[in-house]
A = this chain, B = another copy of it.
Amino acid sequence: MNDVHPPAAKIGYGGDYNPEQWPREVWDRDYEAFSLAHVDTVTVGVFAWAHLQPAEDRYDFSTLDAIVERATAEGKRIVQATPSGAMPPWLAHAYPEACRVDFEGRRHVYGQRHNACPSSPAFRRLSVAMASRLAERYGDNPAIVAWHVGNEYGGACYCPLCAAAFREWLRKRYGGLERLNAAWNTTFWSHTFTDWAQVEPPTVLSEHWRGPDHTAFQGITLDYRRFTSDALLGGFVAEKAAIREHVPRTPVTTNFMGLYQPVDYHRWAPHLDFASWDNYPPEDPSASRTAARMALAHGLVRGLRGGAPFWVMEQTPSVTASRDVNAVKRPGVLRLWSWQSVAHGADAVLYFQLRQSRGACEKYHGAVLDHAGRTDTRLFREVAELGREFELVGDAVLGARTPARVALLVDWDSWWAVEMSDGPNRNVRYVDVLAAYHRALWQANALVDVVPVTADLGRYDVVVAPLLHVVKGDLADRVAEVVLRGGTFLTTALSGRVDEDDNAFLADVPGPFAGLLGLRVEETDAQRPDVVNPVVLSGTAHEARHVFEVVVPEDAEVLATYGADFYAGTPAVTRVRRGAGSAWYVATLLDDGGVGAVVDGVLAEHGLAGPLADVPDVEVVERVAPNGTRYAFVLNHGAEQVVTCPFDGVDLLTGRELRSGDDVVLPRTAALVVRCR
């Protein structure tokens, strides 16, 4: 992948800015506040379509001209958005088919945003024309450091246009119906398709019997998810191409949403110049779990482009609005999480948004400037102080990379397949299990790359693959290579079950991994969430839940066994030595302690636990700058504590010298950026 990055002299800071929603006198107050807050970057035009093009045959760039001119004059870096994330009313009115048909089969009308049918020719034509005009008009303004196409692509459409496009997509994928019928196993329930026209999008009106995860034919649904991801991508690619006609070099991105199931970001990644995402972590009363969850998402986004730095395109300075309960960020948290973003590879950290909306559904979403426009609030003070720190650090960490030797595999196909599977257990959630394994790595302060199954595994010592339900291509061979050359592979229950078409391997479970792991799974029991089976690992009892595979070991060594039920005494965790390495199997879903014990064992085989691994709530992450300088970020997500300094270096935020072995007091929300020696 050929990365193109926005030019930068420091960590980018600023956010979405919509001055078209305000009178000009407010703009002056905005820029005064931006100076106080050290804002250097503004994203403009994200939802500007209606005023840029008030009618199909009429464009009006006067306001955007003024916005761009002012930002340029103020010396800000501009992220120029195309407005296709929200179409104007006239478009939906003129082209009703540009609105989506939903999973219930209902044609929508104008409303909300992120709602355009990805297969609508009218929408495609108009959105591309808009991107083209913007690029033509502003493309040579050097203040524009990046282009931001659309916004938070997502959702799905099930209209006749999408049905036709899906059939075309299938025709390309399968060539003929015979291959399609085989892939979807259509002899089951008399589903053999004899004409492409017979294929319907999988909805509650066709194959689905409860919701999006309950389908009679996993193959159809899986392909519709892939198709949807590609169809949305088609919009991005077309707009980018239109931009590229006028803007040869400025990098183009779009803002992803982290662990967002509907879109397979791995299918998108090659088409971006650099990755960016919006960091709104799910609510979790545990600060540590929230921190780990953000670290996982940062890792995923960093993994999209081979480890290159990315941008946090959005975060809220204070509250969200769209949730049932929207808590304010506690004092210090904004700074802590922003530095965590940088620690994991962000070269810019931006807000949604700079001035709070007056009306509609985001009027209570936090912003740098509130409705009263005050700069004497706790919120504004924290924003400004963080801006000052980013200035202080300058370009030190820009472009720095994470020297990870652990790979955590993420696979949208497995995510989709395991959650839409009938049997064994609907309570298994892919991200919960993925996050549990990631959290154990995070707790150990191991540096981890979160990568697709197609990634080059050659540079990793440890490959962790929870719930790798679908095994595609040569993955099993590449995993075996890791092991044979001395690496460690760890996988879990429900892995190695189906091929790319979601057809079961006609072999012992876990299919292509069975030989490598030295075992077979004979039965898969499932139990309600309140049923616990104790599993003793290294002398400590852990709780297993949900899925309990009954394992018959071939040559695998048994590390732990079930403590209850008719399979008491049979293996729950195994390891086998193969070549120079080893392969681990966890035949059930363990609690955090259990996962932690397994992961610690795996890391220990390669000495990959990081500094302060035994200190709870303290995250330590490293980045290595292009010039070889090593930066360590120390982040305290818990209460104040004293730790033993693991490096020699200087904290760039305070100038304080740190010496290895010294006691360091880490107050609550402490963040250190240590240039190591």
Min distance, Cβ A515 to any Cβ of chain B, angstroms? 13
Which residue of B has the minimal Cβ distance to A205? Answer: B108
A201: shortest Cβ distance to chain B, in Å? 9
Q: Which one of A109-117, A236-244, A247-255 is at the interface? A: A109-117
Tell whether A358 is near chain B: CB-to-CB under 8 Å. yes
A526 within 8 A of B: yes
Instruction: Verify if A454 is at the interface (C-beta below 8 Å from B).
Output: no
A195-B90 in contact (CB<8A): yes
A505: nearest chain-B partner, CB-CB: B371
A51/B187 contact (C-beta < 8 A), A111-B206, A193-B89, A205-B107 known = yes
Residue of B nearest to A359 (CB): B185
Chain B residue nearest to A318 in the complex (CB): B523
Would you list which residues of chain A between 197 and 231 have a CB under 8 Å from chain B?
197-200, 202, 204-209, 215-219
B527/A325 in contact, CB under 8 A: yes
A219 to chain B, nearest CB (A): 6
For residue A192, CB closer than 8 A to chain B, the reply is: yes
B425, A326: Cβ atoms closer than 8 Å: yes
Question: DSSP majority for the A interface?
Answer: loop
A359 touches B503 (CB 8 A): yes
* Chain B residues in 8 Å Cβ range of A396: none
Q: Check if B325 sits within 8 Å of A188, measured CB to CB.
A: no
Residue A331 interfacial (CB < 8 Å): yes
Q: Encode contact with B along A359-372: 1 for CB under 8 Å, 0 otherwise.
A: 11111110000011
> Contact flags (1/0) for A371-394 with B, using CB distance below 8 Å?
111100111000000000000000
CB within 8 Å for A190 and B48 given contacts A218-B360, A524-B319, A527-B325: yes
Instruction: List A544-588 residues whose CB lies under 8 Å from chain B.
Output: 546, 566
Q: Is the CB of B526 within 8 A of A327?
A: yes
User: Do residues B504 and A359 form an inter-chain contact, with CB atoms below 8 A?
Assistant: yes
CB of A112 within 8 A of CB of B206, answer yes
- How many copies the complex holds: the figure is 3
A501 x B362 contact (CB < 8 A): no
Chain B residues near A20 (CB-CB < 8 A): 187
User: Which residues of A in the span 295-331 have a Cβ within 8 Å of any Cβ on B?
Assistant: 318-328, 330-331
Question: Judging by beta carbons under 8 Å apart, are B361 and A215 in contact?
Answer: yes
B324 touching A506 by the CB < 8 A rule? no
A290 at the interface (CB under 8 A from B): no
Across the interface, do B93 and A198 meet the contact criterion of CB distance under 8 Å? yes
A193 and B93 alpha carbons, distance in the complex (Å) = 10
CA distance A106 to B87 in the complex (A): 25
Q: Are B363 and A111 in contact (CB under 8 A)?
A: no
Per-residue 0/1 for A618-642: is the Cβ within 8 Å of any B Cβ (1 yes, 0 no)? 0000000000000000000000000
Residues of B within 8 Å of A141, CB to CB, are none
One of A271-279, A416-424, A434-442, A647-655 at the interface: A416-424
By a CB distance below 8 angstroms, the chain B residues around A405 are none
The chain B residue with its CB closest to the CB of A420 is B361
Residue of B nearest to A529 (CB): B325
Chain A interface residues toward B at CB < 8 A: 18, 20-21, 47-51, 54-55, 83, 86-90, 92-93, 104-113, 184-195, 197-200, 202, 204-209, 215-219, 318-328, 330-331, 356-365, 371-374, 377-379, 421-427, 498, 501-509, 520, 522-528, 546, 566
8 contacting pairs across A/B (C-beta < 8 A): A55-B194, A111-B208, A185-B363, A319-B524, A325-B426, A358-B504, A359-B503, A363-B498
